[in-house]
């Protein structure tokens, strides 16, 4: 807020909040020096009027990693991811994407650069089929006269078949979404994001409403996205999710980033403590 933080932290300090040497030791040790930095949030602050939703957060996201963002209600997770996905602009600080400072005005600009967000409320249209849900707003068109064009349904269904194949779903593209399980619906939402061919996925609570089987389906897909080279930032309330999936866990508390931990070297009690008190016991 007061600009005391340097604008450009060193690579070592780019993953951790300042002022906690124990934290620094954990967070820097686990970074693979070969990993390329995909996103760097540099001292970002976001204020809504008098509310400081995010305060002076510095955090890097590395290529092909799954970074989980956890924190209590109102901790600032959505606001932070919103600054990556173009929903919010930082009040202070900056976002560096693929080595270049960016200032997205809206999610479309982030999408153009390869950042795609999958929201928790899927907003799928139940009575329409999978292909339509995936392509709505961007149907492939056949050559036509005038501004409207004619939808190329053959390509629409072919594209959808390819996406469903990638997702290992043996479902017809013309299946109405109402007939799908919760997990499959979430995969359709991921499939829609996938159709933009992004480098980075920002996933907001992707399994919060799902059964155990649905959760596993989404986890498998996220692992597959990772294997295909995608970078993922996932907001989650579920420590089970986070410990199962994440390469690193970033913990927010009252707008601040309080720690970045390696799930293989941390237990759930420690992360719960960080979420609820902002520090380790
Ligand atoms: N558009 C907004 N206008 C005003 N205040 C906002 C706005 N968006 C978020 N806030 C406030 O900023 C703070 C952080 O909210 P945010 O939604 O980022 O937290 P969160 O960790 O995602 O919470 P949750 O887990 O409940 O979704 C909260 O105090 C919230 O009320």
At 77-123, the pLDDT tens digits run 999 999 999 999 999 999 999 999 999 999 999 999 999 999 765 67
183 — phi, psi (to 5°)? Answer: -65, -40
For position 21, what pLDDT does the model report? 37
The structure tokens 């996220």 sit at: 222
Residues 91/78, Cβ–Cβ less than 8 Å:
no
For position 51, what pLDDT does the model report? 96
- Distance (Å) from CA 196 to ligand 1 centroid: 28
- Distance (Å) from CA 76 to ligand 1 centroid: 6
Look at residue 104 and tell me if it is in a domain: yes
More confident residue, 122 or 140: 140
Look at residue 155 and tell me if it is in a domain: no
User: Which residue owns the Cα nearest ligand 1 atom 11?
Assistant: 53
For position 136, what pLDDT does the model report? 86
CATH value at residue 48? 3.40.50.300
Residues 93 and 213: their CA atoms lie apart, in Å, by 41
Look at residue 251 and tell me if it is in a domain: yes
Q: Which residues line ligand 1 (CB under 6 A)?
A: 48, 51, 53, 71, 73-79
- Distance (Å) from CA 78 to ligand 1 centroid: 7
Q: Is the pLDDT reported for residue 13 higher than 50?
A: no
The domain tally of the chain equals 1
Model pLDDT for residues 245-279, shown as the tens digit of each residue: 999 999 999 999 999 999 999 999 999 999 999 99
Atom of ligand 1 nearest to the CA of 255: 14
Look at residue 170 and tell me if it is in a domain: no
Look at residue 112 and tell me if it is in a domain: yes
User: Which residue owns the Cα nearest ligand 1 atom 2?
Assistant: 48
Look at residue 143 and tell me if it is in a domain: no
User: Which residue owns the Cα nearest ligand 1 atom 18?
Assistant: 76
What string of H, E and C letters represents the secondary structure of the chain?
CCCCCCCCCCCHHHHCCCCCHHHHHHHHHCCCCCCCEEEEEEEEEEEECCEEEEEEEEEEEECCCEEEEEECCCCCHHHHHHHHHCCCCCCEEEEEECCEEECCCCHHHHHHCCEEEECCCCCCCCCCEHHHHHHCCCCCEECCCCCCCEECHHHHHHHHHHHHHHCCCCCCCCCEHHHCCHHHHHHHHHHHHHCCCCCEEEEECCCCCCCHHHHHHHHHHHHHHHHCCCEEEEECCCHHHHHHHCCEEEEEECCEEEEEECHHHCCHHHHHHHHHHCCCC
- Distance (Å) from CA 87 to ligand 1 centroid: 13
Look at residue 168 and tell me if it is in a domain: no
Model pLDDT for residues 149-189, shown as the tens digit of each residue: 788 889 999 999 999 999 989 999 999 999 999 899 999 99
Mutate to test the pocket of ligand 1, among 47, 50, 52, 74 (most ligand atoms within 8 A of CB): 74
- Distance (Å) from CA 234 to ligand 1 centroid: 16
Highest average pLDDT, of 4-18, 30-44, 253-267, comes from 253-267
User: Which residue owns the Cα nearest ligand 1 atom 25?
Assistant: 73
57 — phi, psi (to 5°)? Answer: -95, 130
Split at pLDDT 50, 70, 90, the class of 35 is: confident
Lowest mean pLDDT: which of 12-16, 161-165, 169-173, 199-203? 12-16
User: Which residue owns the Cα nearest ligand 1 atom 1?
Assistant: 48
- Distance (Å) from CA 61 to ligand 1 centroid: 22
- Distance (Å) from CA 58 to ligand 1 centroid: 18
Q: What is the mean pLDDT of residues 33-46?
A: 89
- Distance (Å) from CA 130 to ligand 1 centroid: 32
For position 14, what pLDDT does the model report? 39
Look at residue 75 and tell me if it is in a domain: yes
Residues 249 and 239: their CA atoms lie apart, in Å, by 10
For position 116, what pLDDT does the model report? 95
Taken in order 113, 76, 211, 127, is the CA torsion positive or negative? negative
Highest average pLDDT, of 3-12, 13-22, 208-217, comes from 208-217
Atom of ligand 1 nearest to the CA of 76: 18
For position 126, what pLDDT does the model report? 87
**Structural domain boundaries, residue 56:** 12-127+176-277
Residues 242/68, Cβ–Cβ less than 8 Å:
yes
């Amino acid at each position: 807020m007061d600009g005391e933080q340097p604008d450009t932290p060193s690579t070592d300090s780019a993953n951790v909040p300042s002022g906690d040497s124990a934290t620094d030791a954990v967070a820097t040790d686990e970074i693979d020096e070969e990993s390329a930095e995909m996103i760097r949030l540099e001292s970002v602050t976001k204020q809504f009027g008098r509310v400081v939703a995010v305060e002076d957060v510095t955090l890097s996201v590395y290529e092909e990693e799954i970074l989980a963002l956890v924190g209590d209600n109102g901790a600032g997770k959505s606001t932070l991811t919103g600054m990556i996905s173009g929903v919010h602009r930082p009040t202070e600080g900056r976002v560096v994407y693929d080595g270049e400072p960016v200032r997205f005005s809206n999610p479309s600009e982030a999408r153009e650069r390869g950042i795609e967000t999958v929201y928790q409320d899927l907003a799928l249209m139940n009575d329409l089929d999978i292909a339509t849900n995936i392509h709505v707003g961007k149907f492939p068109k056949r050559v036509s006269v005038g501004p409207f064009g004619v939808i190329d349904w053959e390509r629409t269904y072919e594209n959808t078949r390819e996406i469903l194949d990638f997702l290992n779903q043996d479902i017809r593209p013309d299946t109405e979404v109402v007939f799908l399980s919760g997990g499959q619906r979430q995969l359709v939402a991921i499939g829609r994001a996938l159709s933009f061919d992004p480098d980075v996925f920002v996933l907001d609570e992707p399994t919060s409403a799902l059964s155990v089987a649905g959760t596993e389906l989404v986890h498998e897909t996220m692992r597959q996205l990772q294997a295909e080279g995608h970078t993922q930032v996932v907001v989650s309330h579920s420590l089970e999710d986070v410990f199962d999936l994440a390469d690193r866990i970033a913990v927010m508390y009252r707008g601040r980033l309080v720690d970045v931990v390696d799930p293989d070297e941390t237990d759930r009690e420690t992360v719960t403590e960080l979420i609820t008190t902002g520090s380790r016991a």
